[in-house]
Chain A
Amino acid sequence: AQSVTQLGSHVSVSEGALVLLRCNYSSSVPPYLFWYVQYPNQGLQLLLKYTSAATLVKGINGFEAEFKKSETSFHLTKPSAHMSDAAEYFCAVSPFGNEKLTFGTGTRLTIIP
């Protein structure tokens, strides 16, 4: 069985500040891990993915995430928040790649001007 826990359903940061969105996973097999972003009234878009090639993964729009097996975590970070980063972010896990994704409950990111 696999699951994902996202800590904090709402996160607010000031423009220019560090963004940190937390994700912890459980999986019976080495997982594939993903972060997706959803802008208002739109579908989901892949930000980045971990596939065991490298523990630090860089994605689009300046986001990155680090896979830490000892902590079973895959937190998403961005050094400097931009107003356009306001969206909902989902962490997801799959033992098969992108198939049968199990999503977390999501974190809504608000950027304060």
Chain B
Amino acid sequence: NAGVTQTPKFQVLKTGQSMTLQCAQDMNHEYMSWYRQDPGMGLRLIHYSVGAGITDQGEVPNGYNVSRSTTEDFPLRLLSAAPSQTSVYFCASLPYQGNTEAFFGQGTRLTVV
């Protein structure tokens, strides 16, 4: 099993550009989520999904869209990139019935200039 795979690992965008951060997991986990990590702020939840076709907002959803058409994939879309979205993005997955370990991807380092 590959676990949670995020692509790309690094990305530089110009202000106003759009892009999609990919996240895929091969563990058949129902729950997937996206976090952003900023210095001194820990990780903050952007969006999450409890299964295919079901998504919801987290703490900092503005400027981001998600969809969950399959159990395996949970892409994060930046509609119009802004410098404030410069961050490291992590995808995580786990079985829906909590109390189990969350598996994190290696992260995507995004810079918006």
Binding site for B on A (CB under 8 A): 4, 9, 32, 41-46, 49, 51, 90, 94, 96-106
Contact = CB atoms under 8 A, between A and B. Distances in A.
A97 B50 CA distance: 13
Interface in B34-57: 35, 40-45, 48, 50
A100 B45 contact: yes
Ordered nearest first, which 9 A-B pairs have the shortest CB separation? A97-B98, A43-B104, A103-B42, A97-B99, A103-B43, A44-B104, A105-B42, A98-B102, A46-B101
Contact of B98 (A43, A46, A99, A105): A99
A105 B102 contact: no
Interface residues of B, number: 28
B90 interface: yes
B58 interface: yes
B100 interface: yes
Contacts of A41: 106-107
A76 to B, nearest CB: 15
Main secondary structure of the interface of A (DSSP, over half): loop
Given A32-B98, A43-B106, A51-B99, A99 B31 contact: yes
B94 interface: yes
Contacts of B44: 103
A27 to B, nearest CB: 14
Given A42-B106, A43-B107, A105-B42, A97 B100 contact: yes
A48 B107 CA distance: 21
Contacts of A106: 40, 42
A9 B43 contact: no
A54 B110 CA distance: 40
Interface in B61-113: 90, 92, 94, 96-102, 104-107
6 contacts: A43-B90, A43-B104, A44-B104, A45-B104, A100-B33, A101-B45
Nearest to A104: B42
Contacts of B58: 100
Contacts of B41: 105
A44 B93 CA distance: 12
